[in-house]
Amino acid sequence: MRIPKRLFLALSAAILLVVVLFVVVNNHAARESLDQSLRDRARELGSAYEVALSSSLVSASQMASFIAADVETLRYMARAREALAGDGGDPFGSHSAEVRYLWLQAMQPSLHHLRQRFGMNELEFHLYVNDQAMSFLRLHRPEGFGDVIEAPDHPVNRAARTGAGAAAPVLDAGGAALRAAEPVRWSGPDADEEQLLGMVEVGLSFDALLDLLNRRLGVQAAVVLDAAAVEGVVALVVRERELTRLAGTSCYLFTAAGPDADRLKDEVTSCHAGVSVVGDSVPVAGKRRFAQTVVPLELAGAGRSIAGAVVLWFDAEAALAAYERTLVVNIGYAAAGFIVLGLVLFVLLRGGMRVFETELRRRTSEIRQLNRRLTRMATTDSLTGLHNRRHFLQRMQVEMDRVRRAGGELALILIDLDHFKQVNDRYGHQVGDEVLRKTGRLLLEQIRSVDIVGRYGGEELCVLLPDTDAAQAMIMAERLRAGIAGMPFMAPGGTAFRVTASLGVAQWDGLADRDTLFVQADTALYAAKDAGRNRVVPFGPGPPAGKRP
């Protein structure tokens, strides 16, 4: 009896050892898989944040470009410069105050619309005086004006230096925001070159960006900033009103989004980029456990790059609970026997991995779809489906570079719908939008596959024709003019009407820059309007095409 008993005990001990090793090995593999999946999720969310940030800056740039291109902006900015000169350069003078009041009254309806529709919370107009950008009017804070932006990396100063739009996250005395600036230029009839009047600055809050991530991806998010940088830049009253010093850290909490973010913020230990945190050190909010990743955030301001971070927390409860359940099942099946446990574990692990991989593929697909949507938003005009102004200009520069390398012809057509404001005033903006949509579809139907068509702003459209000379471009422009003039439209109440368009054509000489080609086409466009509209006019000598009905 002793030998069988001893053998039984020895075999039992051996089986127990094998089972324990089996459980340990499987537990280690499950933990590695869990950690890897959370790290992958953290990287995906970091990429989604970068795309969302880029899209927000593009939106701010588009709004700044739209406002800078408005005729009213040019008119008031010119009046503001004259008033400032009349006050001897004092922005608090009576002439400046009068222009500022009229400008504020004229822009208030537009500011409300931009806030409601696009989330813009700051709109500021700067005059460029004595090589400095001075704030003349802040619509979001009318009492604040007259200060000079000194930081060279601020988008306003970058736009003044380069003559092109600039956008970046910014930290200044008013706090952190996504800022974009666009120069406003004017050329008088006797001027040899364009004059920089000032800049339009648009600001979007980080709140809208974090809310987007929370709504679309279920992410809890917070923006944290280095305390030393904040205290050296942000005004004390703003720090006390909008920022929270995080205990035990050298960080300020600027903003947060998500129902659990307020509790999770206490887990922040650094204002700089880090790695995802999993396992025993996961933050806990209520009954849910979260993993986190910290994305670096560089803000312009005070003449230097300011460090900060965006902390993203994502729900890890399901993944952690699945891991814990797997461990319990492994131990339970080990007590029942090595063979049965091995088979059951094999089936469960295979099934669990399939479920996990399916969920991972689904989430990855969602992220890719989001990236594609954000890319479309960044490159396409939402109303007409054409390229937006920024993307059109990028494509135009690529074509110009190609022609410089390989040779060939390149022509540009600018199209402006005649009396479009009257359509909006008479029939309403919905009818005006339908006119723009149908016109955009007509252009896409008429152009070649190599041609590039975009919405330049308002009712102004543009078509770039590679490998096309001026004569061929005139033929294409006349076809587009006739097509627009022949399109029927229907207003509310059954009233039928038509619209016409004036077109300007310019051929690139292979030497001028992009802005010069636009000026040439724009000059031809205004010549078409001066000649009676509903016609095509080339830049330089040559008779107009088309006729006014």
pLDDT of residue 110: 75
Cβ atoms 204, 60 nearer than 8 A: yes
Q: What is the mean pLDDT of residues 353-377?
A: 65
pLDDT of residue 284: 62
pLDDT of residue 31: 80
Half-sphere exposure for 496 (CA within 13 Å, toward CB) = 3
What is the number of other CB atoms lying within 10 angstroms of the CB of residue 59?
21
| Dihedral pair phi/psi, residue 198, rounded to 5° | 175, -160
Residue 293, pLDDT > 70, answer: yes
Cβ atoms 202, 122 nearer than 8 A: yes
Instruction: Report pLDDT digits (tens) over 261-273.
Output: 777 777 777 776 6
Cβ atoms 442, 457 nearer than 8 A: no
Q: What is the mean pLDDT of residues 146-161?
A: 86
Q: What is the mean pLDDT of residues 450-473?
A: 93
Residue 202, pLDDT > 50, answer: yes
The tokens 């947060």 sit on which residue?
Answer: 256
3-class DSSP state of 270: coil
The tokens 């500021």 sit on which residue?
Answer: 124
Q: What whole-number distance in Å separates Cα of residue 120 and Cα of residue 112?
A: 9
Token pair for 311: 């902390």
What DSSP assignment string belongs to 473-538? HHHHHHHHHHHHHH--EE-TTS-EE---EEEEEEE--SSS-HHHHHHHHHHHHHHHHHTTSSSEEE
Q: What is the mean pLDDT of residues 469-483?
A: 95
Q: Which tops the pLDDT comparison, 470 or 297?
A: 470
Mean of the per-residue pLDDT values of the chain: 82
194-198, 453-457, 488-492, range with the lowest pLDDT: 194-198
Instruction: Report pLDDT digits (tens) over 81-132.
Output: 898 888 888 889 999 899 899 988 888 887 777 777 777 788 899 998 888 8
Token pair for 178: 């996504």
Helix (H) or strand (E) holding 125: strand 120-129
Among residues 30, 45, 33, the alpha carbon closest in space to that of 276 is found at 45
Residue 282, pLDDT > 70, answer: no
Q: Which tops the pLDDT comparison, 73 or 274?
A: 73
What DSSP assignment string belongs to 177-203? EEEEEEEEEE--TT-SS-EEEEEEEEE
Helices 2-69 & 71-86, crossing angle to 10 degrees?
70
Residue 274, pLDDT > 70, answer: no
Supply the DSSP symbol for 129.
E
pLDDT of residue 364: 63
Q: What is the mean pLDDT of residues 429-445?
A: 93
Q: What is the mean pLDDT of residues 420-434?
A: 92
pLDDT of residue 346: 40
Strand partners, 265: none
Q: What is the mean pLDDT of residues 287-291?
A: 79
Q: What is the mean pLDDT of residues 49-64?
A: 88
What DSSP assignment string belongs to 141-164? STT----EE--TTSHHHHHHHHSS
Q: What is the mean pLDDT of residues 531-537?
A: 95
pLDDT of residue 10: 79
β-bridge pairing 501-507 and 536-538: parallel
